Amino acid sequence: MATPLSARMPAGGGAASFAGYRAAGGYLGLARARELGAPAVQEAVKASGLRGRGGAGFPTAMKWAAVPPPDGGERYLVVNADEKEPGTMKDRYLMEGDPHQLIEGLAIAATAIGAGTAFIYLRREYTRCALELEKAVGEARVAGLLEGLRLHLHLGAGRYLCGEETGLLNAIEGKRAVPRNKPPFPQVSGLWGRPTVVNNVETLCNLPHIMREGPEWFKALSASSDGGTKIYGASGWVASPGLWELPLGVSAGEVLERAGGMHPGRALRAFLPGGASTDFLPASKLDVKMDFDSVAAAGSRLGTGTMVVLDDRTCPVGMVLSLERFFARESCGWCTPCREGLPWVRRSLEALESGEGEMGDIEILEHHARSLVPGRTFCALAPGAMEPLASALKLFREDFEDHVARKGCRYK
């Protein structure tokens, strides 16, 4: 089984070296991309079926294609390395383990859209990544691999909303990291009002391999109609939490198998398939294929592909509260439903957990789960926050009601 994204990572930890990366064919993809030129690179990526790995699964080539033709002015590529979704650490794994893969990938993307400047917007807490990336950028630069590309490593000041692509752009500009309305899309009016593409780390890491091995090879890696492999993860009460590169479209059960199954004495009750802002799927759905369309058909989202499991000895209300505390804190305060709704959700869940809950609180939670949906809020944060809540209210309704009846949590 091919694992192009993680193949070069040293078994004992640490990062793949520059020499090692080059020996394994590194930067040949970039050379090929530069040789082919932008239209051909876009064509190849389109043929590969690569979909964005940041969570939304938007076809990468389609995102690039929305960039208007060159007008002589600046255009930007921005790497979204602001990985903050609870339960997700796949980008960190890629950057710490093989930084050159990202640098080559971003250089290819810059070639594809004709960007002369690239920013890596990195989560500040990822200090190892920063060190590895800085070193790798230096090596690539000295080797003359980054000619024609101004590359800046930017450390964020730490907000979940900086991971939203337009909030991220505002953050780079030194403005408040609130999202922007679309249209205009960043491809038309992005950084400082110029054409900009924001791509996720994992998305970009696929590009060297697509360019080197070809779109057909890439498509064949996958167990689904979308191309490539995926860094899957599992956390929660599994036997050994971790990250694994597997063909896109393996089943959730296979991912859980990689984690050695559940922790002894714990049984699987449900799981968030793609990180904190995806709907719970019940244990009965372990056979769902972990690709964008299949997870969506099952009623959730592939998201970042890093599942969080709920076991039978953990309170689902408490788990949802922990998530909603995060989302309520990370609301940027721009739009009313998110700014005022999420804290209300948090307080209602706190009341339930602490034994002060009322049946009315469950109604309030349901009201929010119905109301904070795409189109009604300004960006996707609140709808994402509602996914685990809405599904928990459906799957674990008796647990919520039990908190009211018992005036407390039976798991404590």
Partner 1 sequence: MSVANIIVDGKPYSIEGAESKNLLEACLSLGLDLPYFCWHPAMHSVGACRQCGVKLYKDEADARGRIAMACMTPVVNGLRASIEDPEARAFRAGIIEWLMVNHPHDCPICDEGGECHLQDMTVMTGHVRRRYRFEKRTHRSQDLGPFVAHEMNRCIQCYRCVRFYRDYAGGKDLDVQGWHDSVFFGRTEDGALESQFSGNLCEVCPTGVFTDKVQASRPTRKWDLRTSPSVCPHCAVGCSTLPGERYGELRRVRPRYNADVNGCFLCDRGRFGQAFADSGDRLRHCLVKEAGGQVPAPREAAIAAARAALSKPGAIGIGSPRASLETNFALRSLVGADRFFVAISDGELALHRLMRDVLRAAGRRVASPREAELSDAVLVLGEDVWNGAPILALRLRQASRNAPNETAMREKRIPAWDDAALREAVQDRPGPFFVASPGPGPLDECAEASYRAAPDDIARLGYAVAAFIDPTCPAPEGMGEEREALARRIASALMRAKRPLVVSGSGLASAALVGAAAAVLSALVAAGQDARICLVFPEANSLGAAMLAAGGLESAARLLAGAPEPAALVVAEADLSRAAVRGDGPSLMALAVATIVLDHSPSATSREADLVLPAATLLEGSGTFLSFEGRAQRFIALRPCEFPVQDGWRTLDELAAPGREPRSLDGILAAIASELPELAAIVDAAPPSTFRMLGKKIPRGARRESGRTSMHANLDPRDPDPRLDPDSGLAYSMEGAIAAPPSLLSRYWAPGWNSDQSLHKFQSEVGGALRPSAAGEGAEIGARIFGGETGRAALRELAFGGAGAGAPGIPAAFARRGDALLVLPRRFAFGSEELSAKSPALATRIPEPRLFICPPDAARLGLTEGASAEIRFEGADSVPQVLRVAISDLPEGVAELPWGLPALPGAPLASWAAVRPSKEAAR
Q: What does the binding site for partner 1 look like in residue numbers (CB under 8 A)?
A: 159, 176, 180-181, 183-184, 188-189, 192-193, 328-337, 339-344, 347, 351, 360, 364, 367, 371, 375-378
Pick between residue 270 and residue 345 the one whose CB is nearest to partner 1. 345
Pick between residue 240 and residue 336 the one whose CB is nearest to partner 1. 336
Q: How far apart are CA 60 and CA 187, in angstroms?
A: 12
Phi-psi group of 249: left, alpha or beta (phi > 0 → left; psi -120 to 50 → alpha; rest → beta): left
**Cα 98–chain centre separation:** 18
Pick between residue 313 and residue 407 the one whose CB is nearest to partner 1. 407
Q: How far apart are CA 102 and CA 125, in angstroms?
A: 18
Q: From residue 351, how far is each of 206, 299, 363, 366, 387 by CA, in Å?
A: 45, 28, 13, 15, 20
- Looking at this protein, which amino acid is placed at residue 188? V
Q: Say if CB 144 and CB 248 are below 8 A apart.
A: no
Pick between residue 160 and residue 271 the one whose CB is nearest to partner 1. 160
Q: Say if CB 323 and CB 365 are below 8 A apart.
A: no
Q: Say if CB 49 and CB 221 are below 8 A apart.
A: no
The two three-digit tokens of residue 31, written as one number:
């050379």
To the nearest whole angstrom, how small is the minimum distance from the Cβ of residue 388 to partner 1? 18
Pick between residue 309 and residue 342 the one whose CB is nearest to partner 1. 342
Helix, strand and coil content of the chain, in percent to the nearest 5, comes to: 45, 15, 40
- Looking at this protein, which amino acid is placed at residue 408? G
Strands annotated E in 90-184: 117-122, 150-155
Pick between residue 272 and residue 382 the one whose CB is nearest to partner 1. 382
To the nearest whole angstrom, how small is the minimum distance from the Cβ of residue 161 to partner 1? 9
Q: How far apart are CA 91 and CA 305, in angstroms?
A: 11
Burial of 184 (0-12, 13-18, 19+ CB in 10 A): exposed
Q: Say if CB 188 and CB 7 are below 8 A apart.
A: no
Q: How far apart are CA 198 and CA 351, in angstroms?
A: 40
To the nearest whole angstrom, how small is the minimum distance from the Cβ of residue 157 to partner 1? 11
Q: Say if CB 270 and CB 18 are below 8 A apart.
A: no
Q: Say if CB 50 and CB 228 are below 8 A apart.
A: yes
Pick between residue 180 and residue 285 the one whose CB is nearest to partner 1. 180
To the nearest whole angstrom, how small is the minimum distance from the Cβ of residue 242 to partner 1? 32
Pick between residue 181 and residue 284 the one whose CB is nearest to partner 1. 181
To the nearest whole angstrom, how small is the minimum distance from the Cβ of residue 331 to partner 1? 4
Q: How far apart are CA 358 and CA 401, in angstroms?
A: 9
Q: How far apart are CA 283 and CA 281, in angstroms?
A: 7
To the nearest whole angstrom, how small is the minimum distance from the Cβ of residue 170 to partner 1? 8
Question: What would the DSSP string read from start to end of 345-365?
Answer: HHHHHHHHHTT---HHHHHHH
To the nearest whole angstrom, how small is the minimum distance from the Cβ of residue 303 to partner 1? 22
To the nearest whole angstrom, how small is the minimum distance from the Cβ of residue 89 to partner 1? 24
Pick between residue 99 and residue 341 the one whose CB is nearest to partner 1. 341
To the nearest whole angstrom, how small is the minimum distance from the Cβ of residue 330 to partner 1? 7
Pick between residue 19 and residue 192 the one whose CB is nearest to partner 1. 192
Pick between residue 186 and residue 303 the one whose CB is nearest to partner 1. 186
Q: How far apart are CA 347 and CA 365, in angstroms?
A: 10
To the nearest whole angstrom, how small is the minimum distance from the Cβ of residue 66 to partner 1? 12
To the nearest whole angstrom, how small is the minimum distance from the Cβ of residue 250 to partner 1? 35
